[in-house]
Structure 1
């Protein structure tokens, strides 16, 4: 088989590329996805994420990776859920639409990534977005990705906002205008048109499913990419396994890697592109030495406080709530609203841990459920929780190979809390989060604290709690970073340095982690990449 472009990975970036490139009927595209179709009820119903995220007992639409043992987390292995279906992680995430801060992108440009400053990327955010309130100078109103206000946020979430306001934290109506300081409700990637109202709007639902009938688009699911093919220093195609059979698909123009921050570097390394020291230990011949492949891994380390409550208008395990949930499911099916439409992490806050800071350095996710170990540990009853993460971590990790077997998982080392500055910010952020949760507006909901943090008084106490329970909030980036320095893997046009006909287009190209959730920026990256590819750049 031969196509103009072969895309590896049908996630948030791959779906955008497949849709935009096939707008030209003269261009042929093949999209390879290791997972399934991404259109089941589990994906479409927002609240069903609770069945997919834990990865247990079944890996439903989820790679469900683990990290190597983390010295900063008392030697524990972390959990790394990643989407494995059309739509990728946008099929299993909390649907939160967050762009980050203006300074994030301006800092990319300062590193030599011309054309990636806020003013340059804003048009691609807008091009992607179909906002429920329509478009304006900063929001898009005509794009394929439907962005909505939450259908029916719980009263406890509104009281979380009130609790923060009682601490003189300003309320923010829109976190996506370049300055996200304040407290409020997240906007979500959720359908607002009547036909699919209340359903998850994954990247596949937005970009791919509406164009599957294009004759110039071929989508192959359950296709596990094994490596790249080459003619000299030019990438010519992809080998993959489908139904236990080895296949090869060829690209006349370019191969586009959109397998994500954990799988894209793995595929490069399996193909002989990377740090020779990483490749030689697994007997992989070095095709092209590129020291930065798999380096520069950054992720938001996250810590949670949780409380039990008598309020059954939250998610939990119990008879009263179970009966209510049946009603919610029926109402969602009919109207698109109800608790079944929740994103769970309904409440948002971007805060400064010191008034001297120029911009927020921590983010809160307020959830209408007791969250313990990524919902892999369940508790009887009802509750609420709140997460805090440091927005711009200093710690840097790696993604390397465990073996030369393409079906083996990569060795993921986020190096959480190895830089003491990250721990310092997490302690400050946790104390600030607890102040909000102890504010009068939430008093009526608090029954008991779950993890023994009520006794935490000193910074040493908080350090003990954080190292014992912290983990990812699911935002790995940076392992194929864009730039002009010796450790850059791709240039500002996302072309792999030293290899022709090969680009990386996903969150792995971020030189620095943005100040927020990464799904919306990943789709922006793909929109901009498609524009450059069409222009022949």
Structure 2
């Protein structure tokens, strides 16, 4: 790869010596930094606003239960949702080395093949399923499958769950009673059916992007990783991204490219703080526009998660391990055997099915939580229970990410605009009703004492709407705010180069034109892998 001159910002006190600056050490940023630094002729600087991932909770699978409640996150909330009676959602965004992959439930799903073929049909040449599949396989070190759909030997550990409970098998039987089949590989030929999800784990430990891609390569002389390094703004000189200005006022030059990998909320936020976005809105906040691009921060899409909670008739879930003495036993079991509750992501069972029987592919996703109160704002059952989540996978509603202040310390205005489209509301409620039906089937009766939420008092469509305006959450699958496309309105082109500013690329889930039909972490890693190849090609 040809190196840049490193001359940007000469004479203004800028720190020099880096060809690429990658902003954000999340799922995509960790990948692209590691892959670019494979070439010893280039120097890569990876900047992460959050801290390191030394806390054991980032590595223990069950540590997810602490994550949506504040550990390793920015602590942001949404704007009041005007189509959900003003409900405000906790909107967990990672602030730690590894990003979302360090705090998520480790579920390894890729979406449906048609999701990517839809992108290609929108004009995103090179992003069809057959184009992206090799990058999923390249990343993967799968402990079970090696075939057309799966690879071994990649950096990312992908494993079968090792801590399911008998109620999981009963859940499969309950789904079968409703005609929903078992699927042994939902990332394979077909997505339809209930399943054990594979997990981003290796040897019963979380395999975050930081552990998979950065940790083995921290000794590279040409890779510098800085944590607790928040950025004030991007520096643009003569229509080209020249580097970054840190919160402490120091400046760092990028000789070849600045690569923005701060996620679907963080990337448009930093662009707007840098004067890149809807010009009139920026001026109103006292930010001098650098480039008028109204679609920066537009097109926000997310999966709204609804849930049904049942109280159990015995200790059939992991809820009892919330008590100190049981937690101590679970910790001992994990240390000795690498099994038990600590080895569980708590959501490794689920699947894909239909709210709309005529949908082109499954439009619902389920996550069976082996406990209650696992995530922020979700009710807990004092005597123990299970939670079955459902989300409508292809929402039509579109939201936005905007600034509320020119102050980088202020949270952005996050508005997913949930249920703006009536179809989303109908499909979401249909999914919730299906979770109730599954949990009411005979195979689960030996385990379940009673449904507590929504409960028998929720009957009418109005009742259901009122319920979800109180009991719902984000699925943490936000995308789309720096949309990729071939058109003039797209924020980045199909090689993820920023339209209107040279030397700037966006590499994260914000580039998705439409949200994929599943969890989004595996796709972020794929985007990082594919982007690294494109960057190398563009500078060969």
Give the TM-score, by structure 2 length: 0.94
Secondary structure of the residue that 2:538 maps to in structure 1?
A: coil
Cα distance in 1 for partners of 2:75, 2:378 equals: 12
Q: 1:505 to 1:418 in 2, by over 3 A?
A: same
Cα distance in 2 for partners of 1:64, 1:444 equals: 40
2:98 to 79, 83, 87: 87
Secondary structure of the residue that 2:78 maps to in structure 1?
A: strand
Structure 1 counterpart of 2:230 = 224
Structure 2 counterpart of 1:292 = 295
Give 1:39 deviation, angstroms: 3.1
Give 1:355 deviation, angstroms: 3.0
- Whether contact under 8 Å (1:12, 1:203) holds in the other structure is yes
Secondary structure of the residue that 1:522 maps to in structure 2?
A: helix
- Whether contact under 8 Å (1:275, 1:291) holds in the other structure is yes
Structure 1 counterpart of 2:8 = none
Secondary structure of the residue that 1:219 maps to in structure 2?
A: strand
Cα distance in 1 for partners of 2:225, 2:284 equals: 35
Cα distance in 2 for partners of 1:483, 1:284 equals: 27
Cα distance in 1 for partners of 2:320, 2:291 equals: 54
Structure 1 counterpart of 2:498 = 496
Cα distance in 2 for partners of 1:501, 1:223 equals: 21
Structure 1 counterpart of 2:53 = 38
Structure 1 counterpart of 2:117 = 106
Structure 2 counterpart of 1:415 = 417
Give 1:178 deviation, angstroms: 5.3
Cα distance in 2 for partners of 1:311, 1:116 equals: 48
The answer to which of 324-333 and 334-343 deviates more is 324-333
The answer to which of 468-477 and 251-260 deviates more is 468-477
Secondary structure of the residue that 2:89 maps to in structure 1?
A: strand
Secondary structure of the residue that 2:255 maps to in structure 1?
A: strand
The answer to which of 479-488 and 105-114 deviates more is 479-488
Give 1:482 deviation, angstroms: 0.2
Q: Deviations over 1:484-507 (max 9, x none)?
A: 224310000000001000000000
Secondary structure of the residue that 2:445 maps to in structure 1?
A: helix
Give the TM-score, by structure 1 length: 0.95
Indicate yes or no: 2:216 matched with 1:210.
yes
Give 1:408 deviation, angstroms: 1.1
Give 1:375 deviation, angstroms: 5.2
Indicate yes or no: 2:33 matched with 1:18.
yes
Secondary structure of the residue that 1:153 maps to in structure 2?
A: coil
- Whether contact under 8 Å (1:128, 1:145) holds in the other structure is yes
Task: Mark the runs of 5 or more structure 1 residues left unpaired by the alignment.
Answer: 192-196
Structure 2 counterpart of 1:76 = 87
Q: Deviations over 1:332-384 (max 9, x none)?
A: 12332211111111211210124333311111111001137625654433110
- Whether contact under 8 Å (1:33, 1:85) holds in the other structure is yes
Secondary structure of the residue that 1:67 maps to in structure 2?
A: coil
Structure 2 counterpart of 1:51 = 66
Cα distance in 1 for partners of 2:353, 2:233 equals: 43
- Whether contact under 8 Å (1:306, 1:371) holds in the other structure is no
Indicate yes or no: 2:399 matched with 1:393.
no
- Whether contact under 8 Å (1:309, 1:384) holds in the other structure is yes
What pairs with 1:325-474 in structure 2 (closer than 5 Å)?
Answer: 325-371=327-373, 374=376, 378-474=380-476
Structure 1 counterpart of 2:151 = 140
Structure 1 counterpart of 2:538 = 536
Cα distance in 2 for partners of 1:262, 1:367 equals: 26
Superposition RMSD in Å: 1.6
- Whether contact under 8 Å (1:33, 1:221) holds in the other structure is yes
Secondary structure of the residue that 1:312 maps to in structure 2?
A: coil
Structure 1 counterpart of 2:311 = 308
Q: Deviations over 1:395-440 (max 9, x none)?
A: 0000000101111111000000111000010121111111101011
The answer to which of 290-299 and 458-467 deviates more is 458-467
Secondary structure of the residue that 2:22 maps to in structure 1?
A: strand
- Whether contact under 8 Å (1:50, 1:375) holds in the other structure is no
Structure 2 counterpart of 1:247 = 250
1:126 to 127, 134, 137: 137
Structure 1 counterpart of 2:3 = none
Give 1:277 deviation, angstroms: 2.4
Q: How many residues align?
A: 524
Q: 1:260 to 1:315 in 2, by over 3 A?
A: same
Cα distance in 2 for partners of 1:430, 1:517 equals: 18
Structure 2 counterpart of 1:194 = none
Q: Deviations over 1:55-85 (max 9, x none)?
A: 2xxxx21112100000122101111111111
Secondary structure of the residue that 2:417 maps to in structure 1?
A: coil
Cα distance in 1 for partners of 2:54, 2:67 equals: 13
Cα distance in 2 for partners of 1:143, 1:341 equals: 22
- Whether contact under 8 Å (2:308, 2:454) holds in the other structure is no
Secondary structure of the residue that 1:65 maps to in structure 2?
A: coil
Cα distance in 1 for partners of 2:239, 2:87 equals: 41
Secondary structure of the residue that 2:210 maps to in structure 1?
A: helix
Q: Deviations over 1:264-320 (max 9, x none)?
A: 00111111111112211111111111121000000001111101113324222579x
Cα distance in 1 for partners of 2:356, 2:228 equals: 48
1:525 to 527, 532, 537: 527
The answer to which of 477-486 and 322-331 deviates more is 322-331
* Structure 1 outlier segments of 4+, above 6 Å: none
2:42 to 27, 34, 46: 27
Indicate yes or no: 2:199 matched with 1:184.
no
Q: Deviations over 1:458-493 (max 9, x none)?
A: 322222212222221110000001002243100000
- Whether contact under 8 Å (1:101, 1:178) holds in the other structure is no
Cα distance in 2 for partners of 1:524, 1:230 equals: 28
Q: Deviations over 1:131-150 (max 9, x none)?
A: 00242111011210000000
Q: 1:533 to 1:452 in 2, by over 3 A?
A: closer
Secondary structure of the residue that 1:249 maps to in structure 2?
A: strand
Secondary structure of the residue that 1:355 maps to in structure 2?
A: coil
Cα distance in 2 for partners of 1:326, 1:162 equals: 33
- Whether contact under 8 Å (2:321, 2:330) holds in the other structure is no
